[in-house]
Chains A and B, each alone.
Chain A
Amino acid sequence: MELKILENIEIASNIYSLKIDNPALFDVVPGQFFMVKINGFDYPLLRRPFSVASFEDDHIGIIYKVVGEGTKILSDKKPGDFIDLLGPLGNGFGDVEKDKKILLVGGGIGIAPFIYLKNVLENDYKISYKAFFGFNTKDEIYIDFGEIATIDGSYGFEGNVVDMVENEIDNNSLIFACGPTIMLKRLAYLCYEKNCDMQVSLESRMACGIGVCLGCVIETNDKDFKRVCVDGPVFDYKDIAWQTL
């Protein structure tokens, strides 16, 4: 699906906001992603997965961090250029139980899908939640809500987001989490300890994004493999074999 780029601007250090024309052909659940073809056919070859950071009548929004060749090329695209999207794909965040204490916990670029989730929680579910986000430094902050932790202490809580959120978690908490694997792993062990619920969005290298290549699997607790692209990317943390990640 070739869609027009409306905006592609740097909103924090090395972090870009990409807005794409919304063709009004589908709905998107927070946590779902698109496979984005960066260039013409052969280089870079594979599509790149990006979560939806906003979804409005007039645009689909993605927030991405420049980490390698593909995202570098993407950052040079201009409004009016076309970009090829496949999706929306995967299972997003689901089952919001209203009597639970809802916590959004994100780290770095993994916070992007929470911007859309916030919108859905406020406007569709009309429920309250608390948000806790971690960054390395102040320069990387690209959101304007939630409590912030920075590793270097340049803004908000000094330290990592798991330390900041730890005392908020109890057995009635429902956490939505996305971020670096080591952050998620610590959070998962914490959740086991506090006996709470958590839906966690995972990353993995993907070739197809549609469940056929079997390249994106992660190990589950029943000694099986699950595909991040179609069985996830959002999983119940109790299904994941965290020790293998």
Chain B
Amino acid sequence: MANSVNMSVKLSNIIFKNPILAASGTFGYGFEYQKYLDLNMLGGFIVKGLSVKEKKGNKPPRIVETPCGMLNAIGLQNVGVDRFVNEKLPEIKDLNTHIIANIYGSKEAEFVEIAEKLDLEKAVSAIEVNVSCPNVSKGGALFGKNPDSVFNLTKLIKSSTKKPVIVKLTPNVEDISLIAEAAESAGADAVSLINTITGMVIDIKAKKPFLANKTGGLSGPAIYPVGVRMVYEVYEKINIPIIGVGGIYNSDVAIQYIMAGASLIEIGTANFINPDITVKIIKGMREFLSRENIQSVSDIVGAAHSM
């Protein structure tokens, strides 16, 4: 009886019916997927990263396939927070699932402005902060590379909204647990990891990088062992919930993340290949738990650490 498994998880004041979320940048604003699955089946979904103003993004080519993965340099193209609230949110606000807004900025004040605007929107359950973006006032170094920047930013955002704040970490750092600890001590309600891993593909005929942006972020099945390892490390260091993301394409990998220490997981690139993969993964996880006689998914969070 697969249905007797308890899939629900709690993060701060939100209860998710299951731990499966769709990852930012891979799920549009949600309604684009309505044709392919019942969005109400999901624990939640995270919309494309929002900035203060509409952003056009990078010049093409923006993507290139790699073995079991892809590089992207979309350049955070999005409609901006105001159009999101006025045009996109009305299309999804009545869904019976959690909508999480992903935000980014080029300086602290921009994050704060977006967070304050979203704080007024009842339909937004939580805010995920993308810190894998350059801090213009600090010479363009990524916010997410420096524990102090992450601490300050998290603190500011926490004071601009009552909604739970999830800090989404970049793997392109020396020690990701240090950054996770900074987010925790600044009051983050959770951390999500990992964002994409920076990479490059060279077009050998043209003798130059394939992507117009030169570098791009690697995602897809190829990166999952990196994500699992990082979740495992961070779990040993912090006490707030972890959301695992990176290369999840089936329920076995999803379970690996949970056993490494993730309370919830996000599915990204896999949505491009099978638009209803999230629903398949939910089903697969239920079946696994039921087969293993595990009553609740929360029973196996961090299970891999007991050895």
State whether A225 and B56 are in contact (beta carbons under 8 Å apart), knowing that A45-B220, A211-B32 are contacts in the complex: yes
Residue in chain A with minimal CB distance to B247: A42
Hey, what's the 0/1 contact readout for B38-82 against A, CB within 8 Å counting as 1? 000000000000000000110111111101111010100100000
Q: Is the CB of B68 within 8 A of A42?
A: yes
Residue in chain B with minimal CB distance to A68: B65
A204 to B274, CA, bound (A): 20
- Docked complex: B186-235 residues within 8 A CB-CB of A: 220-221
Please pick, from B59, B68, B72, B220, the residue contacting A219 in the complex, using a CB distance under 8 A.
B59
Task: Provide a sorted-by-A list of 30 A–B residue pairs whose CB atoms are within 8 angstroms.
Answer: A37-B273, A41-B274, A42-B221, A42-B249, A43-B67, A45-B65, A45-B67, A45-B69, A45-B273, A46-B272, A47-B272, A86-B275, A204-B61, A205-B61, A207-B72, A208-B271, A208-B275, A212-B27, A213-B25, A214-B62, A214-B74, A214-B77, A215-B62, A215-B72, A217-B57, A217-B60, A217-B77, A225-B56, A225-B60, A244-B59
Residue among B56, B70, B273 with the most chain A CB within 10 A? B273
A41 to B224, CA, bound (A): 14
Residue B290 CB within 8 A of the other chain: no
- Docked complex: A209-236 residues within 8 A CB-CB of B: 209-219, 224-225
A218 to B60, CA, bound (A): 6
Task: List residues of chain A with CB under 8 Å of any chain B CB.
Answer: 37, 41-47, 86, 204-219, 224-225, 244
Residue among A37, A41, A211 with the most chain B CB within 10 A? A41
Please pick, from B62, B72, B249, the residue contacting A41 in the complex, using a CB distance under 8 A.
B249
A211 to B272, CA, bound (A): 10
B11 → A minimal CB distance (Å): 25
Contacts of A42 in B (CB 8 A): 68, 221, 249
Contacts of A216 in B (CB 8 A): 60, 62-63
A28 to B221, CA, bound (A): 33
- Which 3 A-B residue pairs are closest in the complex by CB-CB distance? A215-B63, A212-B28, A208-B272
- Docked complex: B151-165 residues within 8 A CB-CB of A: none
A218 to B59, CA, bound (A): 8
Q: Is the CB of B57 within 8 A of A214?
A: yes
Contacts of A244 in B (CB 8 A): 59
Contacts of B221 in A (CB 8 A): 41-42, 45
A206 to B56, CA, bound (A): 18
Hey, what's the 0/1 contact readout for B249-290 against A, CB within 8 Å counting as 1? 110000000000000000001011111000000000000000
A212 to B26, CA, bound (A): 6
A222 → B minimal CB distance (Å): 11
A218 to B58, CA, bound (A): 11
A217 to B269, CA, bound (A): 18
Please pick, from A37, A47, A204, the residue contacting B60 in the complex, using a CB distance under 8 A.
A204
- Docked complex: B66-101 residues within 8 A CB-CB of A: 67-70, 72, 74, 77
Please pick, from A205, A209, A213, A219, the residue contacting B26 in the complex, using a CB distance under 8 A.
A213
Contacts of B269 in A (CB 8 A): 45, 207
Residue in chain A with minimal CB distance to B221: A42
Q: Is the CB of A207 within 8 A of B63?
A: yes
Please pick, from B32, B33, B70, B249, the residue contacting A207 in the complex, using a CB distance under 8 A.
B70
A47 to B250, CA, bound (A): 17
Contacts of B274 in A (CB 8 A): 41
Contacts of B74 in A (CB 8 A): 213-215
Contacts of A47 in B (CB 8 A): 272-273
Q: Is the CB of B272 within 8 A of A207?
A: yes
Contacts of A210 in B (CB 8 A): 32, 275
Given contacts A212-B271, A214-B62, 12 further A-B contacts (CB under 8 A): A41-B221, A43-B68, A45-B68, A86-B275, A204-B61, A205-B61, A208-B272, A212-B26, A213-B63, A215-B63, A219-B59, A225-B56
A70 to B151, CA, bound (A): 45
Contacts of B63 in A (CB 8 A): 205-207, 213, 215-216
Contacts of A44 in B (CB 8 A): 65
Contacts of A37 in B (CB 8 A): 273
A210 to B32, CA, bound (A): 8
A218 to B27, CA, bound (A): 20
Residue in chain A with minimal CB distance to B68: A42
Residue in chain A with minimal CB distance to B70: A207
Residue among A205, A216, A219 with the most chain B CB within 10 A? A205
Contacts of B56 in A (CB 8 A): 224-225
Q: Is the CB of A225 within 8 A of B57?
A: yes
A208 to B59, CA, bound (A): 18
Contacts of B26 in A (CB 8 A): 208, 212-213
A122 → B minimal CB distance (Å): 32
Contacts of A215 in B (CB 8 A): 62-63, 72, 74
Residue in chain B with minimal CB distance to A209: B272
Residue in chain B with minimal CB distance to A230: B32
A139 to B56, CA, bound (A): 44
Contacts of A205 in B (CB 8 A): 61-65
A138 → B minimal CB distance (Å): 26
A203 → B minimal CB distance (Å): 11
Contacts of A206 in B (CB 8 A): 63
A210 to B124, CA, bound (A): 24
